[in-house]
Amino acid sequence: MRVTEPAANALQRPLIDGFGRRITYLRVSVTDRCDLRCRYCMSEAMSFLPRSAILSLEEIAEITAAFIARGVRRIRLTGGEPLVRRGVPDLARMIGRHIETGALDELTLTTNGTRLTETADALFAAGVRRINVSMDSRDPDRFRHITRWGDIAKVLDGIAAAKAAGLRVKINMVALKGLNEDEIEPMLRWCAAEGHDLTLIETMPLGMIDEDRTDRYLPLDQVRRDLETRWTLSPLPDRTGGPARYFRVAELDAKIGFITPLTENFCAGCNRVRLTVEGKLYMCLGQEDRVDLRAALREGGRGALDAAIDRAMAAKPLRHNFEIDRAKPAVQRHMSVTGG
């Protein structure tokens, strides 16, 4: 079908929400499934979407292309565990083509690292240059406890494979009171020695789990103040439009980030939206507002998809309302569904 001139313009209109924020970052959950069950993320008995409900990899590529045409410059593949879905390196290749044309700045991935030994080279070949690997402990028993059945050796091998493939690695560590707080400083030293950046994350009230998150909540402003008694932390200007703030640790020549959705709110500069594997676009991690892009794409093609994206922009909420001490999660969706 030939696209007429005004329609072609509509397909390239920049994405600006109702509060004047420009959307340039899309996070895509390519599966809600996972090979681990981190205690703060999932309950042990999770039910996952039937395969018939999920977008095909080609549909995901088509939706990401629509966002890129409208000014999205960064895409992150996540989940669930993105690397448990077969064909994700092929999807990375389809999206990575937009880096070659200059339409996309960066394609990244967040993973638990268990399957990196098999996939790191293919990800690099697809155009991925940086990945985040989640690792809340380097102690084998603790790692197994936090993830319920994970094997830290596999993750460490995966990280080594990623490094060997040429991927820059950032370690994500959720700070958990009484579980891994004593490992924050050793993790920082290890990351510095290995050449990885480290980002600490506050546990967020997303989805029902088997435990009470309040018991494990560790405010990161407190962690930062504690680190500052021993190390010189100077703020870095790096901004991603997200809730992360970065610091250089002078003595270790290391970089540390703090993701603090609870202790500090940075929604005013939010530049991102999130696509679930069912094709729902969530405009905020912590709100229910969403638009069904799968229905738009399947029923009306590219024109309907773009109209749905416009509706989403108009409906993006101002901010989340996370509070850790509410009895119930802020939203029922797990982070693994919306794409953390």
Interacting residues with ligand SAM (CB under 6 A) = 34, 40-41, 78-79, 81, 110-112, 134, 172, 174, 201, 203-204, 206, 335-336, 340
Coil/strand/helix, residue 198: strand
Q: Please, are residues 324 and 203 in contact by the beta-carbon 8 Å criterion?
A: yes
Of the residues 21, 66, 80, 188, which one makes contact with ligand SF4 according to CB under 6 A: 80
Answer with the entry of ligand SAM, ligand SF4, none that 204 interacts with (C-beta below 5 to 8 A by kind). Answer: ligand SAM
36 binds ligand SF4 (CB under 6 A): yes
Task: Decide whether 117 or 134 has the Cβ nearer to ligand SF4.
Answer: 134
> Which of 276, 242, 282, 281 is closest to 261 using CA atoms?
242
Q: Residue 64, by phi and psi: left (phi above 0), alpha (psi -120 to 50) or beta?
A: alpha
Q: Which two tokens stand for residue 135?
A: 């690792």
Q: How many residues are recorded in the chain?
A: 340
109 in contact with ligand SF4 (CB under 6 A)? no
Residue 174 vs 309, nearer CB to ligand SAM? 174
Q: For residues 279, 283, 287 and 290, what is the CA-based torsion angle, rounded to 10 degrees?
A: -40
Binders of ligand SF4 in range 113-132 (CB under 6 A): none
CB of 79 to ligand SF4, least distance (A): 6
- Closest approach of ligand SAM to the CB of residue 111, in Å: 5
Residue nearest to ligand SAM (CB): 340
Minimal distance in Å, beta carbon 57 to ligand SF4? 19
Token pair belonging to 277: 């594997």
Measured CA to CA, the distance from residue 340 to residue 337 in angstroms comes to: 8
**Pair 118, 96: CB distance under 8 Å:** no
Shortest Cβ 315–ligand SF4 spacing (Å): 27
CB of 112 to ligand SAM, least distance (A): 4
Our finding on whether 84 is near ligand SF4 (CB under 6 A) is no
Instruction: Choose the contact partner of 37 out of ligand SF4, ligand SAM, none; CB within 5 to 8 A by kind.
Output: ligand SF4
The residue (of 23 and 83) whose beta carbon lies closer to ligand SF4 is: 83
Q: What one-letter code names the amino acid at 237?
A: P
Tokens of 165: 């493939």
Between CA 169 and CA 257, with CA 33 as vertex, the angle to 5 degrees is: 30
Instruction: Pick the closest to residue 28 from 314, 332, 277 (CA basis).
Output: 277
**Comparison of 110 and 276: residue with beta carbon closer to ligand SAM:** 110
Instruction: State whether residue 263 is helix, strand or coil.
Output: coil
Question: What is the smallest separation between the CB atom of 272 and ligand SAM, expressed in angstroms?
Answer: 14
Q: Does 81 bind ligand SF4 (CB under 6 A)?
A: yes
Query: For ligand SF4, which residue of 37, 74, 280, 302 counts as binding (CB under 6 A)?
Result: 37
Near ligand SF4 by CB under 6 A: residue from 15, 23, 30, 38: 38
Q: Which string of DSSP letters, residue by residue, matches 64-131?
A: HHHHHHTT--EEEEESS-GGGSTTHHHHHHHHHHHHHTTS-SEEEEEE-STTHHHHHHHHHHHT--EE
Q: Tokens 């405009």 sit at which residue? A: 283
CB of 180 to ligand SAM, least distance (A): 11
Contact footprint for ligand SF4 (CB under 6 A): 34, 36-38, 41-42, 79-81, 112, 134, 336
